[in-house]
Structure 1
Amino acid sequence: MKKPHLMICLLMIAAACAATVYYWPLLPEVLPVHWNAHGEADRFGQRWSYFALGPGVMLLALAAFWIAPRLSPRRYEVDSFASTFSYIGTVIVAMMGYGYALMLAQAVHGGVAIERAVPAGIAVLLVLAGNPMGKVRRNFFLGIRTPWTIASEAVWYRTHRMAAKLMVASGLLALMAVCLNASPWVLMPLILAWRRWLPATRCCTNVFLTDWRKVCALNSCCPCCWFPCPPPPRSGRCRWKLTAAPSTAPS
């Protein structure tokens, strides 16, 4: 990770540790560690588990983003988008810190609307992490990693440009729903909508194929959008032609 982002993450982890130590005398021995969609605690743990669920998880995420670039194989390094990689890592660590702050505030003071605060945080994560997703280049650690995106720079590029728009739109819609006090059963589909929309639009980005209707896979679905393939001809041989993908991303 870039040094400025690394320092920001370390400061957030230090702040989480300091908050835990400060509020330690006020914490009961048994604390809620999980809430359902209605904001009701349904799982409990010991007081010491807050160190693991807060600073521990944040430190683990930071370590993953710090080690990943050193494990990248050749031609798939993250150096070409190191700033974006570090930024997304910082956003993820910050969102984990936000979740831990909600847990700590609920344990100490109570009255936190978990059922609203958590979806709002996830929506903000989608907006902040999705906005630069189009700058992410082929790698094995971050992004939409499928056999088709890894195999082609053009497919990767167009898929992530589309994913960036969908993630931001999904996050903004979810934030609007939170402000309108929507039901959890409305919030969750909105938060996951970007992932549901992406396969249906990947046919427009997958330049391996001229059109999803022109795919002939005898017992499978279109690899770029998962729509059922048309029935094979009686001869059992493919009647459609595939186009080759360019080796580089479009400018």
Structure 2
Amino acid sequence: MNSADKRGLTPLDGVSILTTAAIAGAALAVWRLGPTGPMPMHFNYAGQVDRWGDRAEMGLAIGVIAMVAGAVAVVCAAMERQVRDRRGDRFTYRLGRIVGLAAPAFGAVMLTSTAFDLLPRQGGQAMFLSLMMGGMALLFLGMGAFLGRVKPNPVIGVRTYWALRSRLAWDKSNRLAGRLMTLVGLLGLAAAPVAPQPIGFHVLMAGVIASGLAAGFESWRVWRTDPDRT
């Protein structure tokens, strides 16, 4: 058992607790202190609001995000502690926890900012989608930079039928996914301030989907010729 386990909580545990608590606090603030007028709850394909709700519904939505973030953090932390002697596996679950906290935190920030009308008014829905595009591109960039190093696990990575039955297919498909996600993230981050919306946001999502499909195909292609497949 290493020194981090002997100490109990690790720095990442502390970040996980603080992040989850902050999201839960935002949910409470919106529920109790948010404006009493209608709030946008859903956007259509064109980035326009197609359903409105009140502060109680918005607070509930952010509260659900807090529960998801907390659940991901707990599961990843538990799995990390079960593989104390394998550094690669520890890295895998740490990355899963970071992504599982960063994505909900970004979503909570956007919803809270929308509830309290903190986003720039200039540009309207286009500005909202530009901010969403930039934030998601940054998440994809960060995830892509490390995805090629993850080991087989039930949390993060290209988890296709073939990748889970061939270590070679896992490694190659995740390396490809990491490169493609990094490229999509870089291009999306650069284009976010200038891309016309909602086209820019849709192109970013299409790039992510295409990256996932390409990585899935790669896992099948490598598995098919791997003599050590199961």
TM-score category (smaller protein):
0.7 to 0.9
Q: Which residue of 1 aligns with 2:100?
A: 92
- 1:5 — aligned with what? 12
- Partner-residue secondary structure (3-state), 1:33: strand
Which range moved further: 62-71 or 157-166? 62-71
CA distance in 1, matches of 2:17, 2:63: 10
Q: Tell me the C-alpha RMSD between the 2 structures.
A: 3.3
Q: Distance in 2 between matches of 1:94 and 1:88?
A: 10
Of the three residues 170, 176, 181, the one matched with 2:190 is 176
Q: What is the deviation of 1:204?
A: 8.9
Moved more, 22-31 or 195-204: 195-204
Distance in 2 (CA, whole Å) between partners of 1:39 and 1:204 is 34
The answer (yes or no) to whether the contact 2:39–2:54 under 8 Å persists in 1 is yes
The answer as to whether partners of 2:133 and 2:204 remain within 8 angstroms in 1 is no
CA contact (8 A) 1:58 1:96 kept: yes
1:231-246 matched pairs, under 5 angstroms: 243-246=225-228
Q: Does 1:145 align with 2:159?
A: yes
Amino acid at match of 1:14: A
Structure 1 residue 246: Cα displacement = 4.2
Task: Give, in whole Å, the separation in 2 of the partners of 1:170 and 1:200.
Answer: 13
Q: Aligned runs of 1:111-190 on 2, under 5 Å?
A: 111-112=119-120, 113-190=127-204
Normalized against structure 1, the TM-score is what? 0.70
Match of 2:67 in 1: 59
Matched, 1:27 2:41: no
Report what 2:124 is aligned to.
none
Relative to structure 1, the CA distance from residue 64 to residue 99 in structure 2 (aligned partners, 3 Å threshold; closer, same or farther) is closer
Give the TM-score of the pair, scaled to structure 2.
0.75
**d(CA) in 2 for partners of 1:83 and 1:145?**
17
Distance (Å, rounded) in 2 between the aligned partners of 1:99 and 1:108: 14
Q: Structure 1's 162 and 244: CA in aligned 2 closer, same or farther, altered over 3 A?
A: closer
Q: How many residues align?
A: 212
- SS in structure 1 at match of 2:36: coil
Matches within 5 A, 1:39-78: 39-67=47-75
Structure 1 residue 97, shift from structure 2 partner: 1.9
Normalized per residue, the structure richer in helix is 2
Q: Structure 1: which amino acid aligns with 2:15?
A: I
Structure 2 vs 1, CA of residues 244 and 19 (structure 1 numbering), >3 Å: closer, same or farther? closer
Are the aligned partners of 2:42 and 2:51 in contact in 1 as well (CA < 8 Å)? yes
The answer for the alignment partner of 2:5 in structure 1 is none
Deviations 1:80-129 (A, max 9, x none): 42234223322332232222222222222255421111111111111112
Q: Which residue of 1 aligns with 2:3?
A: none
SS at match of 2:157: coil
Q: Which runs of 5+ in 1 are unaligned?
A: 210-242
Largest Rg, 1 or 2: 1
Deviates more, 1:144-153 or 1:8-17: 8-17
Alignment correspondent of 1:82: 90
